[in-house]
Amino acid sequence: MERAAIDAGEFLVSMRPKIKRLESRKDFLTDANLGSEKIILSILAEAYPDIPSLSEERGGLELTEGYLWIIDPVDGTINFFLGDDHWGVSIALVENGHTIAGVVYLPSKGQLFSALRDMTANLRVIGKDNEERLVLGVNEESIMTNSQFWLGWGKEEHGGGDHEKVYSAIAKLDSSTLYPQIRNSAVADMMMVASGKIHGYVFLKPEPFDVAAAGFIIERAGGKVTEKDGTPWRAFSRSLVASNGILHKKLLTLINS
């Protein structure tokens, strides 16, 4: 998984000066997305030919029995397209609907995050001398007014209703926390939680590609991840609230108020 993410990331960085936009005004797809996906699927299939995949561009089935790869070849395509460094590659291995291994690579930052079911999440900085794995840990802040939470924007499919819910969540967070933000890359946003840079993340309408690896990494870094109603989070959950754990009940109460 790490090799697939790194190889895809190197390809994406090399493609950045010559990427071409392939879709509509807001629904971005670039030729680089498709190339990254091809690299990831090829490497995973070579090693594990019997495991099916669900990938953002090529699609697949949301299987809740057996093993499944869930892949996002570029999360944060608009940022990638515009030359921002806040985007990433995500690969999750799911067993019976539960993530058991996750990798998120942020190529422009050289940061490789990973976690396994029975191991603490870690960060590897790619390309540095004396490269080592650093244990990840969430922030231990306990006061909401000292905390920052980011939000996922998501696609709009209900005539404005989906985004109205995001506006409402922003207003609630703005009243009680430090400057909520939308940065348009769920995997990069959520690694800010896993590494203790921010205190939580809310995504009211995610896709599995957005969160299957990143939510798991936050959990293995000591954080808490649930659905918006507080029920346990899974790879195919259709809402996500992540936090350092200490603030989780307060965050849920605020979002649901």
**Domains of the chain, CATH where assigned:** 2-135 (3.30.540.10), 144-255 (3.40.190.80)
Instruction: Write down the pTM of the prediction.
Output: 0.94
Average pLDDT, the chain: 94
E strand spans, 107-236: 111-116, 122-125, 133-135, 149-151, 181-182, 200-203, 224-226
Q: What is the pLDDT of residues 86-145, one digit of tens each?
A: 999 999 999 999 999 999 999 999 999 999 999 999 999 987 666 778 999 999 999 999
Q: What is the pLDDT of residues 54-86, one digit of tens each?
A: 999 999 999 999 999 999 999 999 899 889 999
